Amino acid sequence: MQVKNFVILLSSAAMLSSCGILGKKNKGGKSDVTGWNYNDKKMGGYQVAKAKDQGTGPGLVFVPGGTFTMGQTEEDVMGDWANIPRRVTVPSFYMDRTEVANVHYREYLFWLNRIFPADDPANKKILDAALPDTMVWRSELSYNEPLVEYYFRHPGFNDYPVVGVSWKQAHDFCLWRSDRVNEGILMKKGYVSAQGIASQQQEQNFTTKSYLLGLYQAQPGKTATSKKNPLKTPQGTPRTNVTMEDGILMPDYRLPFEAEWEYAAYGYVNNNPRPSKKEGKRGEELVTNKQVYPWTANMNYSGLRETKHGSWHGQFMANFKRGAGDNAGVAGGLNDRAIYTAPVQSFFPNGFGLYNMAGNVSEWVSDVYRPLTSLDADDVAPFRGNKFMKLYKNGNGEAEIDSLGRVKMEAVTDEESKTRRNYQRGNVINFLDGDTLSEASYGYGKTTLVSDKSRVYKGGSWNDRAYWLSPGTRRYMEEEQASSMVGFRCAMDRMGSPEGQGRKTGNYWKARKQKR
């Protein structure tokens, strides 16, 4: 009897152990391919972070992707053949809620002056290259010297959009912002010590790519050295370095593509019924892509918003020039209440919650300008401006950093690309429009003002007529040039579900039991 009871006890213990009640159940998951446990030092120690949604970076708004008609959709009074309408699809992404303001750009300059001290003559070129051109306010027949002197620096203009910034300067700002945001995340989570910031100088300053490649040695924070650190080595000990696979770091900030900017400006999300947060209940495909201005989706059919407090009848929805000589209206009744620019959070946001997507300042986008790109570009994520790059490696096969602390990159050559099926050249900026295949040429400064450095800018400004307020309009300028009417905002790629936080990708049904 005792032997029988002992056998029953052993069997019960085995069953409990197999159910994970007595035995330690692996919480890291198991591979559907090999059956091996993840995050288990006894089974190789392969680390897999728990699937999670991408966080929203500072200043950003989530823009769910979709299909829309890009280009001029209204009667084109300008006869602009460079803006032919075409339906395209834009993947989900993030965009700045507002234009980058003077105070934000001064923060960038402050960091540069701290890392690259001005008392070193070698740094003067770096610092001077980042300064906005305040001379853009000058005009031969107007008195704008106060703006030349004070617009960028005076605290009265802190929250006004930065202008006089070239495309290249805006691009560099995005790079800097990416690194500061990721460095801040690592400090707040305790993987990098804040004490190491004071010692950063020139080549030894934090950049995301140099950190990930091990070219920047960060001083570990409290979490990194703690036994409670959730990041582990294959041997199960705390891991001090964070990798992109951990889901902690953000993708890079960048300038938005032209299609992204135009799509975001319309704010079409309010044209559909509000999608339910419950999975399986969504808005229908009721797209009416024929509106003219960004605020139309927030208004009724008359273009005026009715509220409990009365109508907004007659209120200006953007900062622009109503007509010749009228940049503000009359004293005591200013129409847009701004003579030049206005604070970046002024006026009513569009359907995505984005401010000043019409008026205030026009904005740089990433694209290289060509008149017929709309006909040539892909259906999904259309963009012109690709110049494919790769990691530079020295004679020892090692990556290096340059004098700014950035990882060295080099152009992909045509020789490397010629056997590929998806592209055959490294630099495809002029693909199908300016290359030998297209039989088109652009003699910059002789027959045209278009070159491979011509960048698109979108939206109207404080000094533009209403025509330019429509997101479908487009203009261009050389990437080294600047204007008192052009600023910028940043964007970021979306990783994961295109519908946002907590939403699945694809449609799902309950699995049916197969008949055998």
* 318 contact partners, CB below 8 Å, separation of at least 6: 293, 294, 295, 336, 347, 356, 358, 359, 360, 460, 469
Mean pLDDT throughout 273-301?
53
pLDDT at 74: 67
Q: What is the mean pLDDT of the chain?
A: 86
| DSSP calls for 108-153 | HHHHHHHHS-TTSGGGHHHHHHHS--GGGG-BTTB--HHHHHHTTT
Q: Strand, helix or coil at 386?
A: coil
pLDDT at 314: 61
Task: Examine the pLDDT at 278 and tell me if it is beyond 70.
Answer: no
Q: How sure is the predictor about 330, in pLDDT bands with cuts at 50, 70 and 90?
A: confident
Mean pLDDT throughout 179-206?
86
493: buried, middle or exposed (CB in 10 Å: 19+, 13-18, 0-12)?
A: middle
- Round to whole Å and give the CA distance between 411 and 427: 8
Q: How sure is the predictor about 297, in pLDDT bands with cuts at 50, 70 and 90?
A: low
pLDDT at 246: 94
Q: What percent of the chain has pLDDT over 90?
A: 59
pTM, rounded to two decimals? 0.89
121-174 pLDDT, tens digit each: 889 999 999 999 999 999 999 999 999 999 999 999 999 999 999 999 999 999
pLDDT at 268: 80
Question: Which residues pair with residue 181 across a beta bridge?
Answer: none
Task: Examine the pLDDT at 8 and tell me if it is beyond 60.
Answer: no
pLDDT at 307: 54
pLDDT at 340: 93
Task: Examine the pLDDT at 53 and tell me if it is beyond 50.
Answer: yes
Q: Where are the beta strands (DSSP E) in 333-480?
A: 333-334, 362-368, 389-391, 409-411, 454-458, 474-478
Complete edge-to-edge strand list for the sheet that includes strand 362-368:
474-478, 454-458, 362-368, 486-487
* SS3 letters across 12-37: HHHHHHHCCCCCCCCCCCECCCCCCE
Task: Examine the pLDDT at 37 and tell me if it is beyond 80.
Answer: yes
> Is domain 60-189+248-385+429-493 given the CATH code 3.90.1580.10 in the classification?
yes
pLDDT at 151: 97
61-104 pLDDT, tens digit each: 999 999 999 988 666 677 778 888 899 999 999 999 999 999 99
Residue with tokens 């080595």: 233
Question: Which residues pair with residue 333 across a beta bridge?
Answer: 330
pLDDT at 273: 43
Q: How sure is the predictor about 439, in pLDDT bands with cuts at 50, 70 and 90?
A: confident
Question: Which residues pair with residue 273 across a beta bridge?
Answer: none
* 424 contact partners, CB below 8 Å, separation of at least 6: 414, 417, 418
303 compared with 452, residue with greater pLDDT = 452
CB 347 within 8 A of CB 359: yes
pLDDT at 9: 47
Helix, strand counts (H, E) of the chain: 10, 16
| DSSP calls for 400-437 | -B-TTSPBPEEEPPHHHHTT-SS-S-SB-TTTTTTSTT
Q: Where are the domains of the chain?
A: 2-43, 60-189+248-385+429-493, 386-428
507 compared with 274, residue with greater pLDDT = 507
Mean pLDDT throughout 310-327?
76
pLDDT at 304: 45
362 is written with which tokens? 């026009």
pLDDT at 99: 98
pLDDT at 487: 98
303: buried, middle or exposed (CB in 10 Å: 19+, 13-18, 0-12)?
A: middle
Task: Examine the pLDDT at 283 and tell me if it is beyond 90.
Answer: no
338: buried, middle or exposed (CB in 10 Å: 19+, 13-18, 0-12)?
A: buried
- Round to whole Å and give the CA distance between 247 and 142: 53
Most confidently modeled range among 38-42, 148-152, 272-276: 148-152
What single-letter DSSP state applies at residue 501? T
Cα distances (Å, whole numbers) of residue 102 to 35, 387, 397, 461 = 55, 30, 42, 17
pLDDT at 284: 45
Most confidently modeled range among 39-48, 320-329, 448-457, 491-500: 448-457
Residue with tokens 């630099």: 427
| DSSP calls for 478-497 | ETT---TTEE---EEEPPS-
494: amino acid identity, one letter: R
Task: Examine the pLDDT at 514 and tell me if it is beyond 70.
Answer: no
Task: Examine the pLDDT at 308 and tell me if it is beyond 60.
Answer: no
In 3D, which of 312, 311, 332, 333 has the Cα closest to residue 322?
333
Q: Strand, helix or coil at 456?
A: strand
Task: Examine the pLDDT at 436 and tell me if it is beyond 50.
Answer: yes
Q: How sure is the predictor about 274, in pLDDT bands with cuts at 50, 70 and 90?
A: very low
Mean pLDDT throughout 232-251?
93
366-387 pLDDT, tens digit each: 999 999 898 899 999 999 999 9
110: buried, middle or exposed (CB in 10 Å: 19+, 13-18, 0-12)?
A: exposed
Q: How sure is the predictor about 271, in pLDDT bands with cuts at 50, 70 and 90?
A: very low
pLDDT at 440: 86
